[in-house]
Copies of this chain bind each other. A is one copy, B any other.
């Protein structure tokens, strides 16, 4: 057996990983009367990290209700500054002050967010600066651009068409993932943890005697990178269909049914059929409808109209978690 350093416990983080992308719907409504619905907010989990997308009034209560461990949030993405997507944010930020949060928080949003939040905090007796580093990132909602990145994920702004309002969706795209090391091989070759990142990246193992163990004997191929696109409030847009081309899961607003196409047009929204048309054009894996108008008691109509155009459609349900699966 080759003599290497013993593998410390820390190495377990290279092995045990929640290799998934999951979307939890916190709110699927567009406004009152509420029909039991709440304002737009979603949690996207990528591996062990969670992201909050939009934050309508009541989001913190919804996160509590659905047992989201939201104190771990470090990034929030806000599509636009309409109340039904943002009025829950200042409450959440304030609650974290009361809990004496110290973890930094980054907020990505179109212009105006910093003034909105700082005015609210100042007038509502919150000590500024708050207990944690709070950073505002102004996003140009008119351009498709990378706004955030980790070693495994990229987030892009997706320009939406919402009555001229600065409004963007978000495209979450995983980078190609590292290979998975077969645990039994670590024991077999007594591989030190310092070599594990390289092996996960595809390197072969050179044993002390010079013998080479090919990477494919040590690892298993990773799952395909996943992608999720969130289109909050928008008229149906050909450009959006191009930007979200081939995503595994597309959330697209479907505020109205076809009978209210004029209302959709006037208010800068989409019908369920229009959302499905975008999904078909973009060749996405699955479509999730949301942002339902309060005029509808249920979403049966949305589902029927959308599925007639694009079969792999679901209507977003609050509290439900959707696994993002590779589209093939």
A40 CB to closest chain B CB (Å) equals 13
Residue A60 contacts which of B32, B60, B99 (CB distance < 8 angstroms)?
Answer: B32
A222 CB to closest chain B CB (Å) equals 37
Instruction: Establish whether residues A116 and B123, one from each chain, have CB atoms under 8 Å apart when the complex forms.
Output: yes
Instruction: Establish whether residues A82 and B124, one from each chain, have CB atoms under 8 Å apart when the complex forms.
Output: yes
Residue A123 contacts which of B65, B99, B112 (CB distance < 8 angstroms)?
Answer: B112
Binds B, one of A4-12, A87-95, A252-260: A87-95
On whether A31 and B112 interact (CB within 8 A), knowing A58-B57, A165-B125, the answer reads no
- The chain B residue sitting closest to A56, CB to CB, is B91
Complex contacts, A123 vs chain B, CB 8 Å = 81, 112, 115-116
Instruction: Establish whether residues B112 and A64, one from each chain, have CB atoms under 8 Å apart when the complex forms.
Output: no
Instruction: Establish whether residues B64 and A38, one from each chain, have CB atoms under 8 Å apart when the complex forms.
Output: no
Complex contacts, A65 vs chain B, CB 8 Å = 34
- The chain B residue sitting closest to A60, CB to CB, is B32
Q: What are the 5 A-B residue pairs with the smallest beta carbon separation, nearest first? A: A57-B91, A83-B94, A58-B58, A112-B123, A119-B119
Name 17 interchain pairs, CB-CB below 8 A, sorted by A: A31-B98, A32-B60, A33-B64, A38-B61, A57-B88, A58-B61, A81-B123, A81-B125, A82-B124, A83-B90, A87-B94, A112-B123, A115-B119, A116-B119, A116-B124, A119-B119, A125-B165
